Structure 1
Amino acid sequence: MKFSKWIFILVFSIGYWSWAQQTTTPLPLTTIIKNIEEQYKVKFSYAVADIATISIEKPAAKLSLEETIAYLNAKVPLNFKALDERYITISALNKTITINGTVLDENSNTALPGTSVRTSNSKWAISNKDGNFSLENIPIDAAVTISYIGYGTKEFKAKDFFASGKKGLSISLKPTKEELNPVLIPVFLTAGLQKNTDGSTVLNTKKFGILPGLSDPDVLQSIQTLPGVESINESIANINIRGGTNDQNLILWDNIKMYHSGHFFGLISAYNPNLTNKVVVTKNGTSAEFSEGVSATVNMSTNDEIKNSVSGGAGINLISGDIFVEIPLVKNLEIDLSARHSITDFINTPTYSNYYKKSFQDTEINADNTDKNTQSDFYFYDYTAKILYNLNEKHQFRANIIGIINELNYAENYNSSDDTKSKSSALSQKNMGLGGNWKAQWTNKFSSQLSSYYSRYNIDSRDYRITNDQLLTEANEVIETGTKLNLHYIFNENLQLLSGYQINETGMLNQTRVNNPFYSSTKKSVLLNHVLFSESTFHKNNTFLRLGVRLNYFQKFQKLLLEPRINFRQVLNKQLALKIEGEFKNQTTTQIIDFEDDFLGVEKRRWQLVNNNTIPIARSKQASTGFEFQQNNWNIELTAFYKLVDGITASNQGFYNNFQYKNAHGSYTDKGIEFLINKTNQKYSSWLSYTFSQNNYDFESFSPAVFPNNVDMRHAVTFGFNYNILENFKISIGGNYHSGIPYTKPVEGNETVQNGNNYFVNYDAPNSLNLDDFLRLDASLSYNFKFNSTVKATVRAAVINISNQKNTINRYYKVDPNDPSKAIQVNNQSLALTPNVSFRVNF
């Protein structure tokens, strides 16, 4: 009897378990409909495509027909309606719904506050401190993207949230190795700009919103909205971060070091934003794995995830057209491609004309001479390609290539009484990079990344001078290879360690040749550097601390440099946090500015390697401290900084004074404060930033030894206001102001001096005067619409310098060729009122 009793209990349990599984396990809706038709003797009328992919839990058998229909309407994003006792129709919902959810860390199951939630109809939200979010009026078929820096991204359809109702969908994100440095401010100034806990700023181009004056999300123009980031001459090729020169910024593209940053000789970014997925800007407290850039680090990275379907886009504006595509070939293999080309081959737009005048003012290309007529042909293009291959879940391989090209051809015809003479000149500027990396996850706690790159930069010019039948050719070439191994170990959820080794070899060539009289000069140099680096990152509750050290060995000079780094943030209460950052850095490359042989007057800068003698290794020491206040979408920051850069040379500063042709090395010190106030919500964002800084040179061999820096900008203000007029219609208005930069005037009454047969400007005290203040107002409009559920389009219009303000951005003097005893004042002007329009389609 006991045995029979246990057999009965076992059979009953198996039967109950099977029934329970059938009740709770989701079944295809098509199966459920057939069962209801048989049970209640009814017929459903529907389109197969509407229900083919839907699965839900089976309704209880005890429910009446009316209760069953109510259950289906609550669980399925379709409309079930009984026409009579026999027939029931199923139709698609042509309406919007409210979606709710909670975002959690997959490992710890804790909430992820600050998660970005975006929909394909341009709605967005940020999860609260409990990880919860809610969005209203979302189309039933809209795509929903859940993303958080340091975690993998997940995508859903709005209808996936339907059955969860008010409770919402529970979403778990898988952390990556960046998890100890999460997003601090999810929307910073505009959508797509975020701020990390370590103080770095992240530009996510895929989610980029709108900024004043931009018709497209220009990577390097966008970062100039940040306090402490300016350009004294509106040029991408001359971004000044906390008083530094552009060549003091480390620019990386997918771990490839780049030596060139702008098209149109600096007016627009050379990096296509459509595949440049993320840009991280670090002004201080840099990770120990980076150096070679004593001012700041701009680290760009492209898409690194293999997708399930083809995506891409194309666009055109009044300067260029571009196309990009991301193609998954198989489950574990993808190729991403992009290309952009100027449209100046076909049409000269007002935008192009203004850019051309700005780029080539005060050069022989733009010279106004009635005795000759000129013709110029200028164009640019860039391209990228990336291969993504996953061997398995633990090993990923990536390889990529980037090319940036600017070409200028220039012709002149001289008319004289005897005959007509013609000359042709050319300028070519290129940067090509190759890179590859292997990421390996050896255990749950230990991972590695091995990366290598090759970068080649060339600028070549040919200038034929008719007056003395002279052909001048110049070349500047940089070839650099590098390999870096990162080892990453996770001790626990609060503590991580990064260590690694890096080796770089950099070779540079500078060449000048003249045919009449014959002269040739070729200078080559090579430098090999070895680096060991290590840092630990601790992040628990309200404390973030990153401590690092970098040991550099310069083989040619047999020299060691030790560089400590610190990045600390402590939350004092719910609204207020203290931050402290500091770093030592070095740089072995610099740009020498050559006024005598200046590449047709367009690009005067030539890359050179340090020799630890006349060109020493540049070294920087920087410290900053400040407070951050956050409450009710208000973000207020105040930072004080001190920066000392030693080892600069007079030849790389571009002096227009009596030190113009002198060889010396010295230092500069920049100290000041940065202030930012930003208010953001789903409808609008407004911001105001102010930077005060005092930037002085110190050249011991000069008299005076201390004088204002060429980029000394005492006061700088940026401001802006973005507003969503409609759900898909946005406007952005803003501008920037800064005090005029220093310049040097000639001695009054004794403007020039003679040395042999040559005359030179006799300058007064260096940088003792300032230009008038700079002010520029910009605006942008953006309109989004859809051709269908998968193809979206954006139309944008932008105007730079709405008021057509005439700003002088540089002033210098040259000897009057008609009267050598006098000096002529030369003013370089800013960009005039410049409109631009873009149209883009993404799928």
Structure 2
Amino acid sequence: MVKMLRSTLMKLTNYLFLSVICFGFSFVGQAQETVSLVKLMADIEAQFDVKFSYSVNDVENVDVNEPSEAYTLNQVIAYLNENTLLNFKFLNDRYITVSTLDKTISVCGILVSHDTGEPIFGASVILNNSTKGGITDVNGRFQLDNVPLNKTIVISFLGYETQKIQANALLSRNGNCKTILIKEEAEVLNRVLISKFLTTGLQKRSDGSTVLNTEKFGILPGLTEPDILQSIQALPGVESVNESIANINVRGGTNDQNLMLWDGIKMYHSGHFFGLISAYNPYLTDKVVVTKNGTSSEFSDGVSSTVNMFTKNKLNTKLSGGAGLNLLHADAFLEIPITNKVALHVSGRRSFTDFYNSPTYDTYFERSFQDSELTTNSDNISESNRSSEFFFYDYSAKLLFDLNENHKIRVNAIGISNNLDYTESFVNTDGETESKTSNLKQENIGVGANWSANWSARFNSEFVAFYSNYNVDAIDYRIETDQKLTQTNEVIETGIKLKTNYSVNNNLHLLNGYQFSEIGILNETTVSAPSYERTKKDVLLNHALFTEAEFNKNRTYFRIGVRANYFQKFNKLLIEPRLNFRQKLSNRFTTKLQGEFKNQSATQVVDFQDDFLGVENRRWILADEENIPISTSKQGSFGFEFNHNNLMIDVEGFYKLVTGVTAKNQGFYNNFQYLNASGNYTAKGVEFLINKTANKYSAWFSYTYSINDYEFKAFTPSVFPNNVDIRHSVSLAFNYDVLQNLKLSIGGIWRTGRPYTKPVAGNETVRDGNTTLVNYDTPNSENLDAFQRLDASLNYYFNITKSVKASFRAGVLNILDRQNSINRYYEVDPNDSESAIQIDNTSLGLTPNVSFRVKF
């Protein structure tokens, strides 16, 4: 009986306990029930005698948990502001407005690659039509505070599809952030490996090439504009021994050995101010791809490197543009939507150096014209009787036509011009004052068309045609001899290219194509007294077939191809194999192997006979396979990379042999100066780079060691150092984001001096008939003092209005005002024919610059 009673009591206790628990959960559930916001506002109006003013569309589908019955009216309104995406605001004691206006929230997200599942570092996250934003951190995370509720967040990253997301979809609740998957653009297998390389906007790809994204470009020491050809000199193995972007030396090569392409148009001219400023306006240039080795078989020419520039290629539905100026020039660009399928992009830039001489202009002028007639003319013409006027401009235009999603047509045009007028006044024999104006004009005009077609999900094609015309013309009046000298160098090239891409699967692509080019080069010289005329014109036709396979899967990347070049005039066939291989050994270590054969038929020769007022003494010439052979190169490189926690260490050894160079092509200041012979040079060395990036800073140190020697069998000695043999080169820099919109950069360059040749001590000159020449010693046996330069930049961004952004930039080149010798040669002393005088060309001195830009 007792046991039965105990059992009954236990069952009753359990029942009561379960009932209490269930009741408690039921109570909590009832307490947490949501109600329609419309119904809740009606209850509040009745309870507190107030009125809500709202749009039905804003509140009709909104549910909310009921606030506590003990809340006052103010507490209820505060509760609704906190727990809804609406803004409740008292107009007075009785009326309350409800809207989405002025409502700000905190948003966050984690950006992840859809293809690899890895977080993406350095992606741009910006509020649409504003400058407010940031970048993703090493974990792919971003957070923005005080974001208007109705704003759109734009997420973009080079090589990936741009995403636009409403702010309320990224609402941050208790630190929990939404994961956002972003897909790679279908155009390439060649994935971005390092998203923030040296600075934002510089990225490294699987094939070892470097991509410069001008729109997202961060900051580099000394620069106030994202100068394309100045910026790539931050890369190891890329420098200019005479501080000119018109003379970029890649792994010991000369400037004419760099293939310059602008939207598929081959360009023969690269610099304003005769080499100190890039001639390509960066504000419509979308990206620049720099390749030092392992080039795709699609490209030839440029036995040292390929610099491939692409302008913006997408149609925008809204008008956008920008303008800016610095102490040298002003520029503007516009992206104009005409219809849903047609748009026009235009840009223009012009210097104002012909009517205003800023301190920056004075420094550039002194550097550019220090060895020309403008500064070294005869003493019988005083400074007051000489004047010069210099200006430059460039323009570009692009017509975009999307026939449909699969067929797109683009038409491009670009123009680049430098103009120099030099006037000398003198008193003639009749006592009258006369003046004669010499002129130097340098231009490159290019026109191109492109048709890209997607025939299926796996197969697409592209057809490219272009025309390029380069001219340098000079009219030089020489008062001392009453002589008029006219000189012309003209290059005209037309070309077509058809290529096809076939995707075997997601990992393997096949490229095939054909290219035809016709190049003609004219060199002309006329003299008035005594009468003399020399004209030479050469034309060369080239046919090429190319094919390659590109594979990228897991840890392995390779691209292997071959190009066959047929020169119709010489009945000559050149076969060029290409290799680019990359293998990831672990999550941190990678090995890479690259190799290529290349050729080029157009090169530049250096003429020391006062060509083009002494400012521009390089002429383009064409190979004839007799005195001027086709230049060829063979290059190989091997290296390792370490990449962990945004610390990258890159070590790469290279070997390059370039044959078919001529003595006139190299511009010797020695006993070989007026001789002509063919030879080669061999460059070999090691490039080392260490780069650490984080959210707020980026720092890097690079070192290049190389040995670069000529071999000319017709000369004695036959082997001697190359004119650009720089044994040791060091660069380092540090970028820091002081504030979200304030960036600072400081860095420096140190390298050993370039070689030069001294006269023979005690026997400095020698007679050759009626001419006295400098008697040079062993070629390039001496070196200039080391080159050193320290630079700094400051960038500040701000909003003028919601849709108009602005930036102010300041930069200083050569802060320490160091007088670096960049070239040295000798001339016979006019006062003593048995002695030689030393001529030194020096680098830019202290060069400040500032710029102001607006963008809408």
Q: TM-score by structure 1 length?
A: 0.91
Alignment partner, residue 11 of structure 2: none
1:97 corresponds to 2:109: no
Q: Report how far residue 376 of structure 1 moved.
A: 0.5
Q: Cα gap change, 1:235/1:602 in structure 2, threshold over 3 Å: closer, same or farther? A: same
Name the residue aligned to 1:394: 406
What one-letter code is carried by the residue in structure 2 that aligns with 1:359?
S
Of 772, 780, 786, the residue aligned with 2:793 is 780
- Partner residue, 1:603: 616
Q: Distance in 1 between matches of 2:614 and 2:146?
A: 55
Which SS does the other structure have where 1:820 is aligned? strand
Q: Provide the C-alpha distance between the structure 1 equivalents of 2:293 and 2:568, rounded to a whole number of angstroms.
A: 27
Q: Distance in 1 between matches of 2:800 and 2:521?
A: 51
Secondary structure, aligned partner of 1:206: coil
Whether contact under 8 Å (2:795, 2:810) holds in the other structure is yes
Structure 2: distance between partners of 1:290 and 1:56: 61
Question: Given the superposition, is the C-alpha separation of residues 307 and 35 from structure 1 closer, same or farther in structure 2, using an over 3 Å criterion?
Answer: farther
**Distance across 2 between alignment mates of 1:489 and 1:46:** 60
- How many residues align? The count is 805
Q: Does 1:196 align with 2:205?
A: yes
TM-superposed deviation, 1:730: 1.3
CA distance in 2, matches of 1:647, 1:258: 22
The answer (yes or no) to whether the contact 1:312–1:325 under 8 Å persists in 2 is yes
1:15 paired residue number: none
Name the residue aligned to 1:3: none
Q: Which runs of no fewer than 5 residues in structure 2 stay unpaired?
A: 1-35
Counterpart of 1:275 (choices 255, 272, 284) is 284
C-alpha displacement at 1:133, in angstroms?
A: 2.3
Deviation for aligned residue 1:169? 4.4
- What residue number does 2:810 align with? 797
TM-aligned CA distance change 1:520 to 1:136, over 3 Å: same
Equivalent residue runs for 1:505-584 within 5 Å:
505-584=518-597
Q: Which residue of 2 aligns with 1:724?
A: 737
What is the CA–CA distance in structure 2 between the aligned matches of 1:569 and 1:122, rounded to whole Å?
38
Matched with 1:678 is 691
- The one-letter code sitting in structure 1 at the alignment partner of 2:355 is F
Is 1:59 aligned to residue 72 of structure 2? no
In 2, are the aligned partners of 1:77 and 1:140 still within 8 Å (CA)?
Answer: no
Q: Secondary structure at the match of 1:603?
A: coil
Task: Confirm whether residue 183 of structure 1 aligns to residue 192 of structure 2.
Answer: yes
Match of 1:234 among 239, 243, 263: 243
Alignment of structure 1 residues 148-227 onto 2, 5 Å: 148-156=157-165, 158-162=167-171, 168-169=177-178, 171-227=180-236
Greater mean deviation of Cα atoms: 412-421 or 313-322? 412-421
Shift of 1:86: 8.2
Distance in 2, matches of 1:262 and 1:831, equals 16
Q: Alignment partner for residue 133 of structure 1, among 134, 141, 157? A: 141
Report the equivalent of 1:118. 125
CA contact (8 A) 1:46 1:91 kept: no
Question: What is the RMSD computed on CA atoms of the aligned residues?
Answer: 2.7
Deviation at 1:700, TM superposition (A): 0.7
Contact 1:433 1:455 in 2 (8 A): yes
- The answer on whether the counterparts of 1:149 and 1:182 sit within 8 Å (CA) in structure 2 is no
1:5-84 pair list within 5 angstroms:
58-59=62-63, 77-80=85-88
Residue 416 of structure 1 and its aligned partner are, at CA, apart by: 7.3
Distance change >3 Å, CA 37–CA 137, structure 1 → 2: closer
- Equivalent-residue separation in structure 2 for 1:272 and 1:831 (angstroms): 22
User: What's the offset of the Cα at 1:39?
Assistant: 8.6
Tell me if the contact between 2:85 and 2:100 (Cα under 8 Å) persists in the aligned partners. Answer: no
| 1: CA distance, partners of 2:173 / 2:835 | 82
Structure 1 window deviating more from structure 2 (567-576 vs 85-94): it is 85-94
Match of 1:365, SS?
helix
**SS of the residue 1:468 aligns to:** coil
Q: CA deviation at 1:635?
A: 1.1
In structure 2, C-alpha distance between the alignment counterparts of 1:523 and 1:185, rounded to whole Å: 49
The answer on whether the counterparts of 2:244 and 2:275 sit within 8 Å (CA) in structure 1 is: yes
Using the TM superposition, give the Cα deviation of residue 583 of structure 1 relative to its aligned residue in structure 2, in angstroms: 0.7
- Measured at CA, do residues 55 and 377 of structure 1 come closer, stay the same or move farther in structure 2, by a change above 3 Å? farther
Per the alignment, residue 454 of structure 1 pairs with 467
1:405 aligns with 2:417: yes
1:466 equivalent among 479, 483, 491: 479
Question: 1:634 offset after TM fit, Å?
Answer: 0.9
Q: Which runs of 5+ in 1 are unaligned?
A: 1-31
1:187 and 1:193 in contact (8 A); partners too: yes
Name 1:11's counterpart in structure 2.
none
Which residue does the alignment assign to 1:809? 822
Any conservation in 1 of the 2:38–2:60 contact (CA below 8 Å)?
no
Check the 8 A contact 1:250/1:292 in 2, yes or no: yes
After TM superposition, give the deviation of residue 69 of structure 1 in Å. Answer: 8.4
* CA–CA distance in structure 2, aligned partners of residues 796 and 823 of structure 1: 46
SS at match of 1:223: helix
Contact 1:294 1:587 in 2 (8 A): yes
1:830 and 2:837 equivalent? no
Q: Are 2:705 and 1:692 equivalent residues in the alignment?
A: yes
The percent identity for this pair of structures is 54
C-alpha distance in structure 2 between counterparts of 1:540 and 1:299, whole Å: 26
- TM-fit CA distance, 1:307: 1.2
Q: Contact between 1:149 and 1:178, CA under 8 Å: does it hold in 2?
A: no
**8 Å Cα contact 1:33/1:44 also seen in 2:** no
Post-superposition shift, 1:35? 7.7
Q: Which moved more, 1:812-821 or 1:619-628?
A: 812-821
C-alpha change, 1:384 and 1:146, in structure 2 (3 Å) is: same
How far, CA to CA, are the matches of 1:485 and 1:166 in structure 2?
52
Do 1:638 and 1:673's aligned partners in 2 also have CA atoms closer than 8 Å?
yes
Q: How does 1:281-292 map to 2 (within 5 A)?
A: 281-292=290-301
Task: Indicate yes or no: 2:322 matched with 1:313.
Answer: yes
8 Å contact kept, 2:37–2:63 = no
2:631 aligns with: 618
Give deviations 1:68-98, integer Å, cap 9, x for gaps. Answer: 9899757865434689998464464565623
1:303 and 2:315 equivalent?
Answer: no
The answer for the alignment partner of 1:145 in structure 2 is 154
Shift of 1:590: 0.1
| Equivalent pair of 1:109/1:172 in contact (CA under 8 Å) | no
Deviations 1:258-305 (A, max 9, x none): 000000000000000101110111001111101111000000000001
Structure 2 residue aligned with 1:327: 336
Contact 1:487 1:499 in 2 (8 A): yes
Mean Cα deviation higher: 387-396 or 177-186: 177-186
Match for 1:384 among 378, 381, 396?
396
Distance in structure 1 (CA, Å) of the matches to 2:119 and 2:496? 35
Matching residue's letter, 2:714: S
Separation (CA, whole Å) in 2 of partners of 1:362 and 1:77? 69
In the alignment, the residues of structure 2 paired with residue 488 and residue 591 of structure 1 have an alpha-carbon distance, to the nearest angstrom, of 35
The residue identity in structure 1 corresponding to 2:413 is I
Question: Closer, same or farther in 2 for the Cα pair 1:817/1:45, shift >3 Å?
Answer: farther
Q: CA deviation at 1:613?
A: 1.6
Instruction: For residue 821 of structure 1, give the secondary structure of its aligned residue in structure 2.
Output: strand
Q: Deviations over 1:379-414 (max 9, x none)?
A: 000001111111111111111100000000000123
User: What is the CA deviation profile of residues 188-220 of structure 1, one whole-angstrom value per residue up to 9, with x for unaligned ones?
Assistant: 111111111111111101001111110111110
Residue type at the aligned position of 1:411: T
> How far 1:714 sits from its partner (Å)?
0.5
Contact persistence 1:319–1:352 (CA under 8 A): yes
Q: Does the 8 Å CA contact 1:527/1:555 hold for their aligned counterparts?
A: yes
The equivalent position to 2:512 in structure 1, one of 499, 505, 521, is 499
Please give the per-residue CA displacement for 1:488-535, whole angstroms capped at 9, x wherever unaligned. 111111111111111111111000001111111111111111111111
CA displacement at 1:417 relative to structure 2: 8.1
- CA distance change for structure 1 residues 76 and 645 in 2, over 3 Å: closer, same or farther? farther
Question: SS of 1:222's equivalent?
Answer: helix
Distance 1:709 1:157, change over 3 A: farther
Residue of structure 1 in register with 2:15 after alignment: none
